Structure 1
Amino acid sequence: MTAAVAVAPLAAGEPPINFAAHQIRAGNISGAREDFEQMLAMLVAAVHPGARLIAANPGDWGIDVLAGELSGLVVVWQSKYFWPMVTKHRQADIRSSFASAVANAQAKGYRIRRWVLCVPCSMDAPTARWWDRWRARKQRETGIAIELWHETALRNLLITPDAAHVRRHYYDPYAPPPVPASRRAPVRALPEPEAERLDDTLFVRQLRAAGHVEVTAAKREFFNAELLARDVVDKGLPEELDALAESDAIVHAIWESRFNEHAGRAAADPMLPGLHPDVMRDIRESTHAFPATLAAGAVHHCGLLHRLVDQRRAGWVAHWRDVAARHGETAETGKDADER
């Protein structure tokens, strides 16, 4: 059984999705496994909002990507970068992964509703027959729905509109190059009065809540993104407005994927150390994914995320919504909650 998805046709000239790209990006099979797993986490989060990556520390409880709460009913995605096909010698690995997921669920007190094996290739005929029989038997024994996302199912997901940013980031070698510096909106210096005014903004408060001491660069990113966005809105050109909306969606998706990954470890430290640098690095490395119509550079792209934080659509700590709510109360009364 494979994932049931609505298939969107590739646009003319759209590059094919080649899962060998993970080996090229990482330089070896070991790195390709991790790269494929990171891609899978972004893909699942795109089509199943709220899904998150589970880090191995030291073990991952048989879970690579998770949807649901580890105190109730969950869906588990298991990433396996088998290449170039799934053959008989991979059967033991698949059995072991499923057994580990089931055993950990029983030991830790949660239930698996659905277990999805994700591979970047196809099974040969003998292995496909084994899979069909093994899957049917295990479903009867455990009551868990078992699915296979093979290369065709993954491609069908990657060409859906919700996953466009994932496809561009990982599989588009022909994406338009970054906007030349001569065409980009200029990066302006941050005036001192503006820097002082930004001290009272929500995006700065969110950074402070995450333990950031220096926030000058973040202020400058926000300031330049605001100038760019205001210019686009003032001109009112449909293609630029669409490009701004798409860029907002891209940075939001990057933040959400990383937040879900870090939130899985929130019990250890709800300040989510490493979330901000991971997100900003992903944004800077995804320059090719942003529409060239916006004529923005890395500073503007990072600033767009600060704007989302300021709009209460994202944050830098596990309790970011609480920080946003307290900021709203402060804005209404002129006092922090602690002062009242």
Structure 2
Amino acid sequence: MTATAAATSLASGEPPINFAAHQLRAGNLAGARDDFEQMLAMLLAAIYPGARAITANPGDWGIDILLGELSGLVVVWQSKYFWPAVTRSSQGQIRESFDSAVNAAARHGYRLGQWILCVPASMDAQTAQWWDNWRARRQRETGITIELWHENVLRNLLVKPDCAHVRRHFYDPYSPVPPQRAPVREPAPQDETDLDGALFVRQLRAAGHIEVGAAKREFFNAELLAREIRDKRVPGEVAALSEADGVVHGIWEARFNAMAFVEDPRLPGLHADVMREIRESGAFPAQLRAGPVHRCGLMHRVVEDRRAGWVRHWRDVA
């Protein structure tokens, strides 16, 4: 992504559009091609409501996205995920795609009025010169209008109000490409035994809990996550851990205060209510990579730190 494009996007109040996001979403280059084509289909449907994708079965007639009727005049968009630049090595694929679209129209009895190549990058100078010459020659020979939608053309379309949903779905850094959750690990038998005397376990016992194996697993995984974050010292992750600590503590405090006048000092239901809200809360920062097990474990860490408990007299237990 160019510095100019990034500055324009930031100035408009939108997150920068980086077409490498397709590789992050899909996990590989082959998947990125399909993801980029899906984005184009959504983008074109937003601009031209009649535009539709054509599935290859077994061939796609040289059509990725179509506007018009296959009984008359059509416009065809060809998606090519060339990355990070369109270079000499791409020229053969471009020629083949155009020829395929021209031949399919002749075979199946419709007219190809316009052919548009869509790429998420820019051409280098040599390829740009080749494109200009090839385009002019093939337009004269076929009478078909040929266009290029490169990265800047696509960005200008994606920032239009009618296309905001496409931009958010594919390029919002907080939505289409969420950080991968931290793995959940099983504690060794010795680790579970070592946790028998932990304060968070004693607090659960004081509240009448008989089974605490799941709580130990949650605490164990939250400790691993917190230790990894402390060791790596990535500022964003450190801040996310601190924020998540505040979230779980705040949830507990609100629930505890709401039950402060319950007659039973063991406050039945407090633990279940707090953990349910923690699992379902959308307030946790995505950069933490914490799933439900880690989130609940963060609550046990707060208890272990003597800042919360599951009975009215939790401070005495601590």
TM-score between both structures, scaled by the size of structure 1: 0.49
Say if 1:36 and 1:9 are closer, same or farther in 2 by CA, change over 3 A.
Answer: closer
Alignment match, 1:312? none
Aligned residues: 172
The whole-number CA distance in structure 1 between the counterparts of 2:12 and 2:128 is 33
Query: Are residues 1:115 and 2:118 paired?
Result: no
Say if 1:9 and 1:19 are closer, same or farther in 2 by CA, change over 3 A.
Answer: closer
Say if 1:12 and 1:90 are closer, same or farther in 2 by CA, change over 3 A.
Answer: closer
The whole-number CA distance in structure 2 between the counterparts of 1:147 and 1:140 is 14
Q: Superposed, which structure 2 residues align to 1:239-318 within 5 Å?
A: none
8 Å CA contact 1:84, 1:121 repeated in 2: yes
Q: Superposed, which structure 2 residues align to 1:83-232 within 5 Å?
A: 83-174=83-174
Deviation (angstroms), 1:174: 3.5
Say if 1:126 and 1:60 are closer, same or farther in 2 by CA, change over 3 A.
Answer: same
Say if 1:175 and 1:25 are closer, same or farther in 2 by CA, change over 3 A.
Answer: closer
Higher-Rg member (1/2): 2
8 Å CA contact 2:75, 2:114 repeated in 1: yes
Where 1:139 maps in the other structure, the secondary structure is helix
Deviation (angstroms), 1:89: 1.1
Alignment match, 2:217? none
Deviation (angstroms), 1:14: 1.8
Say if 1:145 and 1:12 are closer, same or farther in 2 by CA, change over 3 A.
Answer: closer
Q: Which amino acid aligns with 1:47?
A: I
Where 2:162 maps in the other structure, the secondary structure is helix
The whole-number CA distance in structure 2 between the counterparts of 1:98 and 1:136 is 13
The whole-number CA distance in structure 2 between the counterparts of 1:164 and 1:95 is 33
Q: Which amino acid aligns with 1:72?
A: G
Deviation (angstroms), 1:10: 5.8
8 Å CA contact 2:53, 2:65 repeated in 1: yes
Q: Which amino acid aligns with 2:63?
A: I
The whole-number CA distance in structure 1 between the counterparts of 2:86 and 2:147 is 15
8 Å CA contact 2:70, 2:110 repeated in 1: yes
Q: Which runs of 5+ in 1 are unaligned?
A: 1-7, 177-287, 289-340
Alignment match, 1:81? 81
Where 2:113 maps in the other structure, the secondary structure is strand
CA shift digits 1:61-101 (9 cap, x unpaired): 00000000001000000000001101111101000000000
Coordinate RMSD, CA, aligned: 2.2
Say if 1:30 and 1:175 are closer, same or farther in 2 by CA, change over 3 A.
Answer: closer
Deviation (angstroms), 1:37: 0.3
The whole-number CA distance in structure 1 between the counterparts of 2:170 and 2:157 is 14
8 Å CA contact 2:9, 2:16 repeated in 1: no
Q: Superposed, which structure 2 residues align to 1:34-49 within 5 Å?
A: 34-49=34-49
Alignment match, 2:57? 57
The whole-number CA distance in structure 2 between the counterparts of 1:175 and 1:55 is 27
The whole-number CA distance in structure 1 between the counterparts of 2:162 and 2:35 is 20
Where 2:136 maps in the other structure, the secondary structure is helix
Q: Which amino acid aligns with 1:157?
A: L
Say if 1:126 and 1:107 are closer, same or farther in 2 by CA, change over 3 A.
Answer: same
Say if 1:40 and 1:67 are closer, same or farther in 2 by CA, change over 3 A.
Answer: same
Say if 1:45 and 1:12 are closer, same or farther in 2 by CA, change over 3 A.
Answer: closer
Alignment match, 1:70? 70
Deviation (angstroms), 1:48: 1.0
CA shift digits 1:246-302 (9 cap, x unpaired): xxxxxxxxxxxxxxxxxxxxxxxxxxxxxxxxxxxxxxxxxx9xxxxxxxxxxxxxx
The whole-number CA distance in structure 2 between the counterparts of 1:127 and 1:147 is 15
The whole-number CA distance in structure 2 between the counterparts of 1:9 and 1:29 is 25
8 Å CA contact 1:10, 1:159 repeated in 2: no
Where 2:45 maps in the other structure, the secondary structure is helix
What fraction of aligned residue pairs are identical, expressed as a percent? 74
Runs of 4+ in 1 over 6 A off after TM superposition: none
The whole-number CA distance in structure 2 between the counterparts of 1:109 and 1:153 is 31
8 Å CA contact 1:15, 1:174 repeated in 2: no
Q: Which runs of 5+ in 2 are unaligned?
A: 1-7, 177-281, 283-318
The whole-number CA distance in structure 2 between the counterparts of 1:93 and 1:34 is 16
